[in-house]
Structures are given as C-alpha cells and as structure tokens.
Amino acid sequence: MIRFQSSPKFDKPATIILLDKGQTHKKAFNVITNAVLRDAVKAVIDAGQFHGEERETFPLIVNNKVVLLVGAGEAGKTNMTALRGIVRQAALSSAFKKINDIEVVPHSRDEQAVIAIIEGILIGTYSWDKYRKAPEKTLRPIEKNYILAVAAKKEYEDAVITCQGVSLTRNLINENADISTSDFLEATILGLVRGKKNVAVEILNKKEMKAKGLNLHLAVNQGSPKEPKLIIVKYTGAGKGKGYTAIVGKGITFDTGGLNLKPTGHMETMRSDMSGAAAVIGTLKNALALNLKTNIIFVTAIAENCIGSLAFKPGDVFRGYNGKTVEILNTDAEGRLVLADALAYVEKNYKPSRFIDLATLTGACVIALGYDYSGLVSNDDELAKDVLAAASETDDRAWRLPSYSEIKDYVKSEIADLKNVGLPKGAGGAITAAEFLRSFVNDTPWAHLDIAGTSFVDGKGRFYYGHGATGSGVRLLTAFLKNKE
C-alpha cells in the first residue's frame, strides 16, 4: 500500500532517501529535517562512501531506525525504466525484511519520476508466493506500507490504482492452470462488475457458441473437458451515443500445442497463454476503479488446448462465425482461432469504433523483438499512433511491425478460405498471424498486440519485474483508454 504526505517526517522504522549523483550537501540536506540523520548522512558523503551513482546504496542505523541512501544517477539523466529498477532494488533490500512501514523520500518532484517510483514499488516488489512454505515467504507489497513524501494528486492515486490492475492480471496468470480456468475467470469478472449500473454482461458457453456458429473457438477447446467461454462486458462510461473501444484478449488457460504437441522447454509456462485475457480483466478493474469517462467493450475468449482423442486435428477445416472457412495446418496456432471468432462476433453484434486485441500469439514475435517490446500490427495509422503513445507513456513498450496488401496471400488456403499458419518454417510468423486476425475485422480500425515476449519472465527477472507474469498491456490499455476520455 502507498500513502502520500507532503513532506518527509523521518518518523517511520525505515526510510529510503533517493539522491542524485553529486548532489551538494545543501541540496541533499534541504529535505533532511532530523539533525542527527543529517549529520550521519553528511559524514558518509564527506568520507566518500556515497556519491549518488545509479543503483548505489548505503545503509545507516540512526536513532534505531534503518535509513537507506539510494543513488538515482546523474540529475535529470536517469531514465524512468532505470528509476523503477532502482526503487525496486531499494524496496527489496534485506534491511527492510522485518519492517512494514517505510518512508520514501524522492530525489525529484517531477510527475513522471514520482509515478516511476510508485511503479517501482508496487510492480517491482510484487511476488507470487502462494505455494511457498510460510517461513520462506517474501512479504507481499500489500503487507508493507510505503509513505511517499510528496503531496497526493490524482495522477499519483491513478498510478496506484493502475498497479492494482496489473497485480490482478499477474495473479490470474501465475495461478495454476487447473484453478485459473474459464469458470474462475468468469467468477473474477462477475465479481468486478457486480453492482455496477453502467455495465452489461454477455457470456457464451459451449451450447451458445455452437448455436451461434463460433466453430473456430469450439475447435480449439474440443479436446478439453472444461467449458469454453466468450465473456463480453459492455461498459458505458461516456453515454450511449459515443463509440466503443473493444479490447479483446486471448485466454488459452493452458496450451499443450494440441496434437502438434509442444516439446519440453516450451510447455512449462503455458499457463501464461491467457495473458491477453488476464490483461483485459486487469484493465476492466482499472476502468471501474478510475470511473473512466469512455465507452469500452471488454472481451475475453477463453479455451484450453488439450491433447486426446477428441482434440482437433491438423488438416481439419472449420467454418468461423463470419462464415469464412479455415484449414488447420498446426493445432499450436490456436490463439488466432479463438480471437478470430471473438473479433467477428463483437464486430457484428456490438459494432465498436475500434478494436485492440492482445495475445501471446507467436514465438516469431519474440524472435523479432525479444522480450522487452510487444509487437504491434494495425490497419489504421491513427490508432497505431495512439497505441504507441500510450506504450511510451507507460513503459509498457510496443514496436510497430509491417502490414501490407501482399501478405494476405500468405494465409490463403488451397482447400479453404484461409489457413491458420502462413509461410513455411515460421517465416514472418508474427505478421502472418496478425494478417489472419485482420481477415476477421473488415474495415473497423484495429490494432493487434503480440505480447508473447513481454508477458512472462521465465528466470530471475527483467527490468523491474521478478519471475513470472508481468501484467503486460494493462498500463498501456489503461493509459490509452484514459486518453480517450
């Protein structure tokens, strides 16, 4: 939890003091009103033990309180990504292991710097420890109280709310796949919208999907005993006369690859294949908490891609909701199938002004962009510009990939209207997968975010994230929607 106070008080069991490189004593001590602490810090600086270098730290014990001096680097030159990482490192210091109340004194009152500090705390210290033995647990952020020594303002309070949506998304992804099922996600969504008067919900289960012809979605799920779901939340924040932004998330709660089985080393983190849907749910939480004054359609397309005698097969052909037929060349190219039916269904029945879909869609996007940028493909330059602006604003990074008229030929089938994979050997896999999706949105402005690389950290950490889900897309979408108010 984060609270705000207009100036430092140095009255908590612990304090983090961020200082720029080369700050003079006068600048450093202007904020330090406690004489004993000021003298202690002066002694450290005079002895040359602390210079404010980026990520430099120096712990002190003053009046039985823990004080951690933290270097923010050269004044005005530390980028916001680095600042988030600096704050994360400081907040996770072993010096605070048994301390719950920590005051944080920023080195700058710049709004973007303060927001970066907030995110460094709340996103950086997040941990998924549900299944660890109690003695080994790292305290979760909610168990610590951070008192940030800046005056409260709406932008800062909004940043805290946005981080809460990110945490919900991460929890949904990190949970066991047999817990975070379609029923679990449905219950989560219904819990968020319960009692909200400006919200309408439509839920399609297997029976309804079959009756309406969402056969691509059903094909992916047919090897699983769990119920497929298409859940649509219509949020009217700006009046019914205004257009709606539809955000659509891929929700494959576990992806074995189907009969085109994933090899060892590629399946272990496939509970994260519902990261797009989880990001939509986290953004829904934010939209409700922020009371956004814009109209939004939240769509989660949920299925499980299993192996077994009932699983769909390479070579099969299925007819989608919009009437187009699709030849299945690879059952591990399943996410685009559930998204295709979702896009077509929402376009016909809800007529949104624009689409944004999110999906852990292709390993090819990871090959192209690595793990730090989501891939963006769009049929509309203005929409793409707005998405990229939100990405830059929030450090939820995206990079635009090409889309061109000739690429449509790569997803044409010899026996059906389309095929679910493009060129041989995965060439252009990210953009051909996006082109497949584009075939289901007609002329509606549409942007596709491939978050396969950015949604999950399988290792010790990246930037200011620890192991596991990152909540990719939530900050970007929240900022995009706020900018539409």
pLDDT digits (tens, 9 = 90+) for 301-357: 999 999 999 999 999 999 999 999 999 999 999 999 999 999 999 999 999 999 999
Q: What is the pLDDT of residues 203-216, one digit of tens each?
A: 999 999 999 999 99
Mean predicted confidence (pLDDT) in 234-243: 93
Would residue 3 show up in a list of annotated catalytic residues for this protein? no
Q: Is the pLDDT reported for residue 75 higher than 90?
A: no
The CATH fold assigned to 2-152 is: Leucine Aminopeptidase, subunit E; domain 1 (3.40.220)
Which H/E stretch holds residue 241? none
Q: So what CATH class is 162-483?
A: alpha beta
Three-state secondary structure call for residue 274: helix
Q: What does the mean pLDDT of the chain come to?
A: 94
Predicted local confidence at residue 426, as pLDDT? 82
Active-site hit among 21, 55, 212, 262:
262
Residue 400 has pLDDT above 60, yes or no: yes
Q: Which residue has the higher pLDDT, 27 or 477?
A: 477
In the structure, what pLDDT confidence band is assigned to residue 139 with cuts at 50, 70 and 90?
very low
Which residues make up the CATH 3.40.630.10 domain(s) of the chain? 162-483
- Which of 258 and 33 is assigned the larger pLDDT? 258
The answer to whether 336 is a known catalytic residue is yes
Query: Kind of pairing, strands 456-457 and 418-419?
Result: unpaired
Which residues belong to CATH 3.40.220.10 in the chain?
Answer: 2-152
Q: Quick one: what percent of the chain has pLDDT higher than 70?
A: 97
CB count, 10 Å around CB of 281?
26
Q: Does pLDDT of 289 surpass 60?
A: yes
pLDDT at 141: 42
Which residue, among 211, 409, 410, 417, has the nearest Cα to 324 in the 3D structure? 417
The CA distance from 32 to 43, in Å, is 14
Q: What is the reported pLDDT for 24? A: 60
pLDDT grade for 28, boundaries at 50, 70 and 90: low
The DSSP line for 116-173 is HHHHHHHTTT----TTS-GGGPPPPGGGSEEEESS---HHHHHHHHHHHHHHHHHHHH
Dihedral pair phi/psi, residue 466, rounded to 5°? -95, -165
What confidence score (pLDDT) does residue 425 get?
A: 82
pLDDT at 434: 98
pLDDT at 31 over 90: no
Reading the block at residue 36, the tokens are 């004993």
Average pLDDT over residues 76-103: 94
Q: Which helix (H) or strand (E) holds 438?
A: helix 429-438
Q: Which residues of 7-41 are buried (b: 16+ CB within 10 A; e: fewer)?
A: ebebebebbbbbbbbebeeeebbebbebeebbebb
**CA–CA dist 47, 207 (Å, integer):** 74
pLDDT band at 142 (very low <50, low <70, confident <90, very high): very low
Model's pTM, two decimal places?
Answer: 0.96
Report whether 295 contacts 352 (CB < 8 A).
Answer: no
- Would you say 279 and 478 are in contact if contact means Cβ atoms under 8 Å apart? no
Nearest to 470 by CA among 250, 267, 278, 231: 278
| Across 445-462, average pLDDT | 94
Q: Which one of the listed residues 206, 336, 438, 484 is annotated catalytic?
A: 336
pLDDT of residue 140: 47
Residue 26 pLDDT level (bands cut at 50, 70, 90): low
